[in-house]
């Protein structure tokens, strides 16, 4: 599958925020699960030029964001359309995102944080070469959850 990255439009942000709903414990990732995240995602000013819609053909399949942490280090966040998760498609999407950041922004290192319960994502990140870092507690979605920080060096 070929992936294309473009700055997210308001229409795409609204589609994701209002229509992408994950099953069971993965509903944690619904945009509506955290009001602050929801508001930031829908605000073009806070999305800026660091939030990308990921398409294949004309189909919106994922989103990807990144924040420059230092000269060649970027912290990334990503999400795949709910009906595509758990079907072995995450690795290809993650690889494309990693190649995009390397090519467009000369990244030397990527970091990300993932909820500890999300073993499916952690497995995909490890398979692509991400290394486990520290764990930490974070307030989100009306409670406190354990997260794992992971990193990848090119």
Condensed to tens digits (0 to 9), the pLDDT of residues 17-64 reads 999 999 999 999 999 999 999 999 999 999 999 999 999 999 999 999
Confidence band (pLDDT; 50, 70, 90) for 68? very high
- pLDDT recorded at residue 85: 93
Count of the separate structural domains present in the chain? 1
Residue 5: the pLDDT is 98
- Contacts by 96-101, CB closer than 8 A, 24 or more apart: 96/3, 96/5, 96/54, 97/3, 97/5, 97/54, 97/64, 98/128, 98/152, 100/3, 100/5, 100/52, 100/64, 101/66, 101/74, 101/76
Identify the pLDDT of residue 88.
87
Under 8 Å between Cβ of 37 and 43: no
pLDDT of 1 higher than 90: no
Residue-wise pLDDT for 80-114, tens only, equals 999 999 898 889 999 999 999 999 999 999 999 99
Domain span at residue 133 reads 4-153
Which are the contacts of 88, defined by CB distance < 8 A and separation ≥ 6? none
- 145 by DSSP, 3-state: which? strand
Q: CA 113 to CA 121: how far, in whole Å?
A: 11
The reported pLDDT for the residue numbered 59 is 95
**To which residue do tokens 């390397």 refer?**
102
Return the pLDDT at 136. Answer: 97
CATH code for the domain of 65: 3.40.630.30
Give the per-residue pLDDT at 142: 84
Model confidence band, residue 12 (pLDDT cutoffs 50, 70, 90): very high
pLDDT higher than 90, residue 71: no
């Amino acid at each position: 599958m070929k992936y294309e990255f473009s700055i997210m439009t308001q229409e795409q942000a609204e589609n994701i925020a209002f229509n992408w709903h994950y099953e069971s414990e993965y509903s944690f990732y619904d945009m509506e699960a955290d009001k602050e995240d929801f508001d930031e995602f829908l605000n073009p000013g806070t999305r800026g030029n660091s939030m990308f819609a990921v398409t294949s053909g004309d189909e919106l399949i994922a989103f990807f964001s990144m924040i420059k942490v230092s000269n060649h280090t970027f912290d990334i966040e990503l999400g795949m359309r709910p009906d595509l998760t758990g079907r072995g498609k995450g690795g290809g999407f993650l690889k494309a995102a990693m190649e995009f950041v390397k090519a467009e922004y000369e990244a030397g290192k990527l970091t990300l944080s993932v909820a500890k319960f999300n073993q499916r994502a952690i497995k995909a990140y490890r398979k692509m070469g991400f290394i486990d870092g520290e764990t930490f507690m974070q307030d989100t979605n009306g409670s406190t959850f354990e997260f794992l920080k992971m990193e990848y060096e090119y």
